[in-house]
A and B are shown apart, each in its own frame.
Chain A
Amino acid sequence: MSQQITTKPVVRRRLWTTADGRRFIAGAVVLAVILFGQSIYGMATASGRLDPSLRNATGPSDVVVVLDFMPDRFHNERVAQYGAFAGRDGALNRLRLRFVNPDNLRALSNVAWISRIEPFK
């Protein structure tokens, strides 16, 4: 009498088929959105932020950075990284920035919380 030996096949379940796997994917997605969401949104909407007259700037420009809210110390310090901060332009939420080189102008237009970047007249 021969005895048949049967073995259970090893079932490797895909990550998204288990509750823990789905939770992990959701966590990873949330983490990615937190880490890169603002930058991606800023880059995607950069062209709408920059005034058309500044898009082809080849040298340093003087600009007015317009915000939709009253800036805090955080915003002043961040904007000042891209050029020489030169005070307000008629309102607290309009920041004058001088000598902004083309690279910094592009970087500035990628900042998601900036509403518009206009030429300083």
Chain B
Amino acid sequence: MSVQAAPIATTSTARRALGQLAWTLVPAAPFVIVTLIWIMATGILNPSKETLPPVTDVLASIKELALSGQLATNVVASLYRLLLGSILGIVTGLIGGVIVGLNRKLAESLNPVVVFFNAISGIVWLPLMITWLGIGNALAVFLIWNTVFFIVFQNAALGVQLVPEVYEQGVLALGGGRWQTMRSVILPGALPYILTGIRTGLGFGWRALIAAELVGAATGLGTMIFDAAEYHRSDIIVAGCLIIGVIAIAMDRWLLLPIERRTVRRWGLVADTEKER
């Protein structure tokens, strides 16, 4: 009987491994499809290079930008601004969100202010901020902060508000203090919302960064794209967009997602089946 069972087990293991591999590759499928459409469109419709550059031209541009030092310089400048603005936005948004989430009356009274400023897009601030902060890093950092802050703030406040009060009462009934409740119940309970806010905020932070760099910066990926537009270099524009997207995916997959999984798991906020994924 065991002699017959062995090949069945091997087949099912292999099938499972193949299935896992297929699921790992699924996220890449839309990119492959878009690239194929792009290749076919440039081959069949033969548009001018200013309208839609061929894939090969874009790849050649990326290589040229990398070898001439432009790519690294611009990526570093953009990442520096993004990290600075995002860290400021996350820290202030988190502190503000937790404080507001803990106090329902404060949340209600601050809600109109938050909605008011959240509705004003970062781009709208640009003309005013150029006169206040001048053209440079401060302008970009402000715009990123303005974007990240509200998303983290609202998610953190919501996360804190949604923690069931019975858990807090449980800790208090067992003799725990306010700080212990905060550390053991409120923050871990709000963590999934906080981390979602941070991930979403960083995504929107990229948009704010590029908008700021288009207007007021000497270096950065937005500046690179804007300069390329002046010379009708669509290949560099597309290359810039690809680089922004790749860095954003890499940061999300390699930095934020592992942190999210690790911290959320540590406090036992996911089921065991989920943990194994």
Chain A interface residues toward B at CB < 8 A: 18, 20-21, 23-24, 26-28, 30-31, 34-35, 37-38, 67, 69, 71-75, 77-78, 111-113
Contacts and interface: CB of A to CB of B under 8 A. Distances in A.
B110 interface: no
Contacts of A24: 254-255, 258-259, 262
Contact of A113 (B69, B219, B254): B69
A31 B255 contact: yes
B69 A30 contact: no
B75 A34 contact: yes
Tell me whether chain A's interface is mostly helix, strand or loop, or mixed. Answer: helix
Interface string B214-234: 000011000010010000000
Given A24-B254, A26-B254, A73-B227, A113 B262 contact: no
B79 interface: yes
Nearest to A37: B72
B76 interface: yes
Task: From B64, B68, B79, name the one whose CB has the most chain A CB atoms within 10 angstroms.
Answer: B68
Nearest to B236: A72
Contacts of B68: 67, 69, 71-72, 74-75, 113
Contacts, number: 69
B62 to A, nearest CB: 14
B250 interface: yes
A23 B253 contact: yes
Nearest to B265: A20
A24 B259 CA distance: 7
Interface in B45-80: 64, 67-70, 72-73, 75-76, 79-80
Contacts of A78: 73
Contact of B76 (A18, A26, A34, A111): A34
Interface in B190-229: 218-219, 224, 227
B258 A21 contact: yes
Given A23-B253, A35-B76, A38-B76, A112 B258 contact: no
A67 B70 CA distance: 13
Nearest to B223: A74
Given A24-B258, A28-B255, A112-B69, A74 B227 contact: yes
A112 B66 CA distance: 11
B251 interface: yes
A73 B64 CA distance: 14
Contacts of A38: 69, 72-73, 76
A67 B72 CA distance: 16
Contacts of B224: 74
Task: From B254, B259, B262, name the one whose CB has the most chain A CB atoms within 10 angstroms.
Answer: B254
Contact of A77 (B69, B75, B218, B254): B218
Contacts of B64: 69
Given A24-B254, A27-B258, A74 B70 contact: yes
Contacts of B253: 23, 27
Contact of B67 (A23, A69, A74): A69
Nearest to B74: A74
